[in-house]
Structure 1
Amino acid sequence: MNKTQVKLIEAAEREFAEKGFHGASIRDITSRAGANVASVNYHFGSKETLFIEMIRYRLEPLNTLRIGMLDTAVAKAGPRPLRIKRIVDILVRPMVESLVGGTHGEYFMRAMGRGMAEETAFMQRLYKDVLATLVTRFRKEMRRTLSDLPETVTITCFTYLRSTLSGVLQIRKNNVVLESGIQFPDADTMIVYITGGIEAIVRNYRTKNK
């Protein structure tokens, strides 16, 4: 990716974070990037593709890291399946530590949250192009951990996890600060919360189906 493309992506993060996908104009993005109006079409083809490439730019290195961490944990565990908390930790902690706190991370989180909230049609393309490999890999590992349960339970658990992460993005889209000035989230709180929810779902199913 060349310097102009990076400048456009970083400018787009600011504009999408502040105005949402529909509110951000190509003219404002290029103006912020110090580029001409035609540069978005030249480098990306459309505003939709610029948004997807913005997500890819931040998430693909992160997803590669998370899949690598998962592969290492699986190899170390040998035939034993990973604990739910370990799977959640590998998925959540790198995201929080990489994207929460830094300036670009904050704009990215808010931009992605607003894009998801607007339910634009190309979000399905985003899932397929950027997120599908990660989701498939982690869901497969969770399925191995919960192999004694129906696959529908695994899907429910993973949906719960994804919904929680989406909820965090929704909070970030408005830069919400919680009571007592505590900025949400931190990795440990999220991991404990998500793990507890999934384990409760599993425990409830096993209790009902003894």
Structure 2
Amino acid sequence: VFLVSVVGMIFVAAAETTFAALLKPIMDGGFVEKDQAMIKLTPVLLIVVFLIRAFGSFADQYCISWVARKVVFDLRAQMFDRMIRFPTSYFDQQATSGLVSKLLYDVEQVAQASAVGLRICIKDSALCIALLSWMAYLSWQLTLVFLLLTPVVGLIVRKASLRFRKTSVGIQNSMASITEVATEAFQGHRIVKAYNGYQHENRSFEIANFANRRQVMR
């Protein structure tokens, strides 16, 4: 399945590069020189390119999603098996909602990160190589300027990535807080009713909910 996804990514990269390469002959031959042969050939070329891209995109997204869900399945099973074997002292120190949040949300984030990482490493790398090759064919000077600017762009992306990672951790912690407050309120609903603690529980949930909203908006 993963190999099919890789083939799909390569097809997408090849189709997008081919489309970029076809723009000049289509514009020059069809709109400037009024070449009848090019005008008739243009729809066929575009349809073929878009069909290849559609096939590659479907294979890429479906297969990489399958791989990501398999990662979730295996990771959750292994994580649950390890967690239930922890000593009682560990469960006494940890909130149940936090453990559930790790099992549900954290594993989901790992799957999404693995899928995005694989797509970036394979499809985007293949696309960059193909487009750079085409750029070098058209103008090696422009390609050289682009390559010289790449480290600067990479530094900016790295800084942004670190900030996004920090924000993601904050979002996960805030989600765990929401789960913890809601779980405690629902499990202890008899105590809440007996002591008329609705206002206190609403306030606690409002604080956790606002913290989550603030983290997401960052």
**TM range, smaller chain:** 0.3 to 0.5
TM-score by length of 2: 0.37
TM-score by length of 1: 0.38
Tell me which structure has the larger Cα radius of gyration: 2
